[in-house]
Structure 1
Amino acid sequence: MRILKKILLGILILLILVAISGYIYVNSLKPQYSGSLELQGLKAEVSTYFDDYGIPHIYAQNEEDAFTTLGYMHAQDRLWQMELIKRIAPGRLSEILGKELVPTDTFFATLGIEEATKKAIAKIDKNSNAYKLAMAYIHGVNQFIEEGATPIEFTLVGVEKQPYQLKDMYNTFGYMAFSFAMAQKTDPMLTAIQEKLGADYLKDLDVLSNPNSTFIKNSKPNIEVFQELSSQIAQVTQNLPISQFVGSNSWVVSPKKTSTGNVIFANDPHIAYSQPSVWYEAHIVTPNYEMYGYHLAGVAFPILGHNRNYAYGLTMFENDDIDFYLETNHPTDKNQYKTPNGYKSYRKQTKTIKVKDEEDVVLDVLTSRHGPIMTHVQDEILHDNPVAMSWIYTQHDIKILDAVYGMSHAKSMDDVREAVSLIHAPGLNVMYGDAKGNVAWWAAGQLYTHKDHVNPKFVLDGASGEDDIVEYLDFSNNPMAENPEWNYVYSANNQPDSIAGMLYPGYYLPEDRAKRIVELLEPKNDWNIESISQMILDVTSPIAPTIVKESIDVMNISSFSDNQKEAFEVLKSWEGDYTKASIGSTIYQRFIYKYFENTFRDELGDVLFEQLLKTHLLKRTIVKQISNDDSVWWEDITTDTKESKADILTQSFKDAVNNLEKQLGVDISKWKWENVHTLEHGHALAAVETLRPYFNVGPFKVGGTEEVIDNKAFDYNDSGLYDVKVGPSTRRIIDFSDVENSISILPTGQSGNPFSKHYDDQADMYSKGEFRKMKMNKEEIIEASRLLKVTPKN
């Protein structure tokens, strides 16, 4: 008995020791939000106040000290995120995450971002403030890497911390530029469709700009090759463990349309959800500088920001800055390709991709005069049909560090415009408003022209030179508006109007959000922060009811069951609202997928159909195709009869209701949108199922949907479940009548450290559409914050 008691006592003591050790270990990993800290290189003491949401308010005597401190604070909350994002562009993910990421690494290593980074850094002005402050930030990051706690993800994955470098910041810019591009998914797919089905099948696809769409108005001062290429690109981009940049909304209302007589600025960039979320907030104050900014992991200067004088934000321009060229190999020498001046040798470069627990992968990258050969890059060999990718980002001088520095350090609207003009890629709509009453929008990006016969949404002829770029346009020809007479500017990734006598080729989103924004802004002249905050959460589609009417008018309801008739009446009375309690939205969304499937899959086949679902093109196509009674797509080529529009739409509705009955039951009152539309913020390590509950945040039942202002996008599939993939990465509203009470929200929290209380403390608020203050009043900040005193280290 005594022995048993001793054993039990020993076990109890062991468990207590394990618990104490675990407690000590976990606490050692938490970010430091108070107390004191010494940093090398500081000239004077820096006071950093962490507010009630973990956002640092950094008060320093000079900017270099401020940015050194910012680097340290950013790293202690987001070092794992920095580690992942810096590895994407050079193709180094499989080094830490394993062989599953080899196709992704192969793809990105082929793009040439790393080489473009080297050229940019070689040309940088080391006497510029942009360079000095970027290096100060990097110095802060590296001090945390050297002296701070190792994030648990590094330990679980088995990654050694390495010093952060300027090239990592530039490679992050390169990844950002690529993730905006839609051409890589669309051009090879369209070419494959044209080769397989012919030009008649493209008429109903919105391949060209629609002159009847809602434009942003300006106001100035071989089939297998193409199908496989498209499939490959879709695969590697889908497997990325870090957020992709997708869409966005922004509008800036001039004093003449507000109740206060001051500018109100709103912005919600749409980015793939992840944990941690993409933005890190920081407020910096020095005697000569103040900015409340939103930072990408590892980037010194805020991509979004505001102070008491002005605010800036962004949406995606969606312009076409990638062209694919089909090269023609020499008939006997596969190392040469045809040019207008005879045959020329491919430039060959060998790269090594390190793979965790596996042999290295050796990659031969071949490059023509247009760019790297993308066909079968996974196989590392050149086939008879090489396709080269011509990308503006890697072909022109990269000045984006100077651009983001300039936007965050501007003294006037002219300064911001000048900084925006330095951005050649990615294509961005930079939105602007200030305390003086100015509102503006500039489309950033290097635009160019082809000859009239060229449609850049298809793979082009690389051999003749006839499809090559003809002219690069000056920034003055870019779409823009400054203080327009209609008293607001906006962007929803839709087609901009022309000021250069041409419509700019691109992969613009349909007019749905743009139309709704204009519909709400135009008639109202007493906007305030409360009404703008309601607008940014709007979930009504102005287009869906039109599609419903076009569809139900031709359906053969006499063939419907009783439940189908009841669902039909619900859909008929639905007004396009995607609230959580909506039933019409659930029926509509299921019907739309079945319409896609019954209309397009038979001609395209499974592979091309799945690729089409992942592009903006299908969203733009619905209104045009569904209103065409004579569309060639209506006939189901797998049957002996000739189907009509009425046949396909009637069958699609029946299929939709049948599927919903199996999924949710026959009681239509239970078909609420919240039961099928959920948001879970996924961490990169959640691929290991046992880790998912500890690292992921959610799921949450949410409203919104594709292409409403509260854009909550998902992948189209046949599951009947709409797991949200993309949405507002922040919602920001800056009211220049009361800047210190401007509001914002993050999808999860400020910290990427799972042991921080700020890992997910905004997630529930975000899912409910709530906001919090972006504090700028020092007295208020001090009262509600913890002080971390940062002093120079001897």
Structure 2
Amino acid sequence: MALVFRWLLRLVTLSIVLTVLGAGMVYYLASRSLPEYDKTLPVAGITADIEIIRDNAGVPHIMALSDRDAFFGLGYAHAQDRLWQMVLLRRTVQGRLSEIFGTRTVETDTLMRRLDLYPLAVASVAHQDAATLDALEAYSAGVNARLDEINQGSNGRGAPEFFMFNAPLAPWKPADSIALTKLMAFQLTGHLREEVLRARTSLLIPDADRLSDILPDMPGPGVAALPEYASLVPGPLPAHTPSQTRQAFLPATPPRGLSGASNAWAADASRSAGGGTLLANDPHLGLTAPSIWYLARLELRSGGVIGGTIPGIPVVMVGRSERLAWGLTSSYLDDQDLFIEELNPEDSEQYRTPDGWARFETRKSIITIKDHAPATITLRWTTNGPVLPRASFDLEAVTPPGHVATLSWTALSGKDTSMTAGIGLMMSGSVDEAIEISRAHVAPSQNLTLIDKDTVALKLIGVMPSRDPRHQSQGRMPSLGHVAENRWQGTLPYSANPGFLAPQGGIVGNTNNKLTDDAFPRHVSFDWGDSQRVQRWRTIMQGRQVHTRDSFIEAQLDTVSVTARTLLPLIGRDLWYTGEAAPEGTPERQRQRALDLLANWNGEMNEHLPEPLIYAAWLRALQERLIRDDLGPLASEFDHVEPLFIERVFRDVNGAAKWCDILRSVNEESCADIARLALDDALVWINETYGDALESLRWGDAHQAVHEHTVLGKVPVLRYFVNIQQSTSGGDNTLMRGRTRGSGDAPFENVHAAGYRGVYDFADPDSSVFVSATGQSGHFLSRHYDDLGQLWRRGEYIPMSLDEGLARAASVGITRLVKP
């Protein structure tokens, strides 16, 4: 027995030693790729020495004597801190993920190859102006200087992920940066999904009023009732098939409801306590670790520029210079149309056009798949655009046999000059100059909010498609591609883009709300991103005669839900304080306690309060009860509460209360019945998930901000090192927006929010502030991986100064790139 014990002890000791050695080796290899910030490095391709001063937040201040060298320094800094992120984005847009991830990403690669975004980016390089070409080439040279350093210095392949997913690293090219802007455009637009969903819903709900309930127009002048989708295309349509895109590994686009959003507002000197213009901006994107945003400062000939960049793109997307500040919000421009193209029954290589049959433009493309034989696909284009895979976006459910779906989209251009607009914006010295240079912007369409020292403005930028007023679906549903009235008639002039220059009230802003009342086809969009936040914003802006930097910050961090304040009195009006007190421990008593809490709540979605969780769970259960029997499995696509739908139902707008009656029951249920049943459903779910002590609930326990590593975030053990989770306030409809997941076991996780916040004050420019959601580094062993995350969670910021002395005083390292 003693012998057995000794051998067991030896084996356990050996296992511990091997584990420690293995962990040590992993740590050593991973730490080799940690960038060194304090060094001197000889590099080729620069005209003079460059200094990259990292302040104590890891923000690089790139000091150079020429614009070319400044962009070189930015490329080097991006590659130092975010090389894996850059390479992954490049592989995504190239349709080359399967080379390292195998069969899991074939669906994404197939979609990206069919869109042809990377070849279009290559073609667009020649259409940039001279300054932009110079910037792109210098930036690429800076990235490649870092690649050379990694290869020559054995710097751990540049990032820990490259040990797990080994693949050759091609040099960076100017086309790569343009391609990333096209990828961002694809991720920021959701009209393709909305068209398919509207078509599928129309097939189940032919009543135009009921369709307008569940997919409502924004308040204001509307559109005449559309035809039922079945009348637009020849049938029969295939049976409903469940969505596959959402479960895909590394999908090219986020699920419905999780594409672009944002807030931005500005005040001129007459509405500023300090006598200078003010601007606040917080773009909303999916939360990841690291964040998509990277803070940086460049010293250009036109002056210093500082703000948020996206690794791989040599542009300060949002930020300020010494004379100008700019912010972006998603415009929700309807820049995509789906077409159903009829195939020639005699020749499947032909499709129908207004002038008869025409041959597809075709090209073979080979997808290399790790550990599997390569797959060859045939890319096909019509004059309307590329043919999309039937398995993507549930297109199979709306595409009749003998037809294929194609996409018209403004970003499908080989003459895309959006990069020229971005570079020019950084160098602009006034609002007027910025608006003029943004004429070159193609996609993604954005609302550009601007201030200089005297003026505020808001301008929609991006190419607006021109549609025929006789378009059968007005671009809201897929339409037949051979009908001339459905096809795009070119593009509208830049002057048609809505804009507001120096408004009389002194304040402009956008929360993705409806921007114009123009009728179709100059309507911009029928689908907007917000009908709720804008109400709270208007109240806050008009509540003060003058604003300050701090009042703009307060608005940016506001967590009061106008939606809760509006809907709770409606859905609970027949439930408040009704009936006798129920015995303790009964469902009725639990319902009364929940109603008592909600009746005394001011609508603040504070992470420490129980009421937001009860409210959110009630609204979610309520919408599920209202739509499940009418829509069946399609109800799962409506995984976020639509406030306008709930309000229409409980106000019985045009008979919308009809949704409250359960179709399959004998009795006729009232909306009060459904509200009560939904509250009980919500409380059962809360009890099972968080316990029955309602007063002890915390919204922040459910509304965790989940910054998940794009690839390693679900890997056991590793996920605890690479993911960042934080309790957060806010919600779907608050100014401090934290869009919830909407589905799964944790439907209220915060997965789409302001990854960047900035507030710029031209009364004292160096008092401007900004912050990102995680940290500067993409390396999980770096202290800069998540050091800004807690500041972001608490609503704090770091200084956004162009003072070189401050940067040097707070420096954690200076990288000197010198001529050899």
TM-score by length of 2: 0.89
Of the three residues 159, 163, 168, the one matched with 1:155 is 163
**Alpha-carbon deviation of 1:457?**
1.2
Of the three residues 558, 574, 598, the one matched with 1:571 is 598
Query: C-alpha distance in 1, partners of 2:168/2:487?
Result: 45
Of the three residues 306, 322, 332, the one matched with 1:308 is 322
Report if the CA contact (8 A) 2:756-2:773 is conserved: yes
Matched, 1:689 2:716: yes
Of the three residues 429, 445, 448, the one matched with 2:462 is 445
Closer/same/farther in 2, CA of residues 229 and 483 from structure 1, 3 Å limit: farther
Give CA deviations for 1:156-181 in whole Å, capped at 9, x if unaligned.
Answer: 11222221112211110111111111
Query: C-alpha distance in 2, partners of 1:602/1:500?
Result: 35
1:188 alignment counterpart: 196
**Alpha-carbon deviation of 1:26?**
4.5
**Alpha-carbon deviation of 1:86?**
0.9
Report if the CA contact (8 A) 2:40-2:818 is conserved: no
Query: C-alpha distance in 2, partners of 1:380/1:594?
Result: 28
Matched, 1:666 2:692: yes
Query: C-alpha distance in 2, partners of 1:663/1:18?
Result: 38
Closer/same/farther in 2, CA of residues 577 and 367 from structure 1, 3 Å limit: same
**Alpha-carbon deviation of 1:199?**
3.0
Matched, 1:33 2:37: yes
- 1:534-683 counterparts in 2 under 5 A? 534-555=554-575, 558=579, 561-606=588-633, 608-613=634-639, 618-628=642-652, 630-631=655-656, 632-683=658-709
Which consecutive unaligned segments of at least 5 residues does structure 1 have?
214-221
**Alpha-carbon deviation of 1:523?**
2.7
1:205 alignment counterpart: 214
Closer/same/farther in 2, CA of residues 713 and 18 from structure 1, 3 Å limit: closer
Give CA deviations for 1:222-275 in whole Å, capped at 9, x if unaligned.
Answer: 799688689345555974599975200011111111110111110000010001
Give CA deviations for 1:672-730 in whole Å, capped at 9, x if unaligned.
Answer: 21221111211121232221112112x21111110211100112236465111100011
Report if the CA contact (8 A) 1:84-1:241 is conserved: no
Amino acid in the other structure paired with 1:116: L
Identity %: 24
**Alpha-carbon deviation of 1:440?**
0.7
2:408 alignment counterpart: 390
1:401 alignment counterpart: 419
Query: C-alpha distance in 2, partners of 1:22/1:368?
Result: 51
2:102 alignment counterpart: 98
Report if the CA contact (8 A) 2:467-2:486 is conserved: no
Amino acid in the other structure paired with 1:328: E
Amino acid in the other structure paired with 1:136: A
Closer/same/farther in 2, CA of residues 16 and 272 from structure 1, 3 Å limit: closer
Query: C-alpha distance in 2, partners of 1:704/1:356?
Result: 42
Matched, 1:416 2:434: yes
2:226 alignment counterpart: none
1:135 alignment counterpart: 137
Matched, 1:231 2:248: no
Query: C-alpha distance in 2, partners of 1:688/1:241?
Result: 22
Query: C-alpha distance in 1, partners of 2:410/2:43?
Result: 40
| Secondary structure in structure 2 of the residue aligned to 1:589 | helix
Give CA deviations for 1:492-528 in whole Å, capped at 9, x if unaligned.
Answer: 1111024688532242123211111111001312311
Query: C-alpha distance in 2, partners of 1:369/1:246?
Result: 28
**Alpha-carbon deviation of 1:389?**
1.3
**Alpha-carbon deviation of 1:646?**
2.3
Query: C-alpha distance in 2, partners of 1:248/1:227?
Result: 37
TM-score by length of 1: 0.92
Amino acid in the other structure paired with 2:343: N
Of the three residues 761, 764, 774, the one matched with 2:800 is 774
Closer/same/farther in 2, CA of residues 655 and 347 from structure 1, 3 Å limit: same
Query: C-alpha distance in 2, partners of 1:298/1:229?
Result: 37
Query: C-alpha distance in 1, partners of 2:330/2:512?
Result: 6
Report if the CA contact (8 A) 1:185-1:233 is conserved: no
Report if the CA contact (8 A) 1:188-1:230 is conserved: no
Report if the CA contact (8 A) 2:125-2:133 is conserved: no
Aligned residues: 777
Matched, 1:252 2:266: yes
- 1:124-523 counterparts in 2 under 5 A? 124-125=128-129, 128-148=130-150, 149=155, 150=157, 151-200=159-208, 201-211=210-220, 231-236=243-248, 239-240=251-252, 245-286=259-300, 288-376=302-390, 383-395=401-413, 397-435=415-453, 437-447=454-464, 448-452=466-470, 453-470=472-489, 472-498=491-517, 502-523=522-543
**Alpha-carbon deviation of 1:488?**
0.8
Amino acid in the other structure paired with 1:172: L
Which consecutive unaligned segments of at least 5 residues does structure 2 have?
1-5, 223-232
Report if the CA contact (8 A) 2:105-2:250 is conserved: no
- Of 719-728 and 239-248, deviating more is 239-248
Report if the CA contact (8 A) 2:128-2:419 is conserved: no
| Secondary structure in structure 2 of the residue aligned to 1:343 | strand
Query: C-alpha distance in 2, partners of 1:407/1:506?
Result: 29
**Alpha-carbon deviation of 1:464?**
2.1
Report if the CA contact (8 A) 1:68-1:137 is conserved: yes
Query: C-alpha distance in 1, partners of 2:201/2:551?
Result: 45
Cα RMSD (Å): 3.1
Query: C-alpha distance in 2, partners of 1:554/1:12?
Result: 64
1:756 alignment counterpart: 782
Query: C-alpha distance in 1, partners of 2:562/2:574?
Result: 21
Query: C-alpha distance in 2, partners of 1:426/1:652?
Result: 40
Report if the CA contact (8 A) 1:249-1:315 is conserved: yes
Report if the CA contact (8 A) 1:349-1:365 is conserved: yes
Give CA deviations for 1:504-556 in whole Å, capped at 9, x if unaligned.
Answer: 22421232111111110013123112222121110011122111111112449
Report if the CA contact (8 A) 2:510-2:534 is conserved: yes
Query: C-alpha distance in 1, partners of 2:574/2:125?
Result: 61
Report if the CA contact (8 A) 1:374-1:387 is conserved: yes
| Secondary structure in structure 2 of the residue aligned to 1:561 | helix
Report if the CA contact (8 A) 1:432-1:440 is conserved: yes
Give CA deviations for 1:574-606 in whole Å, capped at 9, x if unaligned.
Answer: 221100122221111111111111111112122
| Secondary structure in structure 2 of the residue aligned to 1:393 | coil
| Secondary structure in structure 2 of the residue aligned to 1:755 | coil
Query: C-alpha distance in 1, partners of 2:238/2:320?
Result: 44
Report if the CA contact (8 A) 2:48-2:69 is conserved: yes
Give CA deviations for 1:32-80 in whole Å, capped at 9, x if unaligned.
Answer: 2112122111222222211001111111111112211221111010000
**Alpha-carbon deviation of 1:428?**
0.2
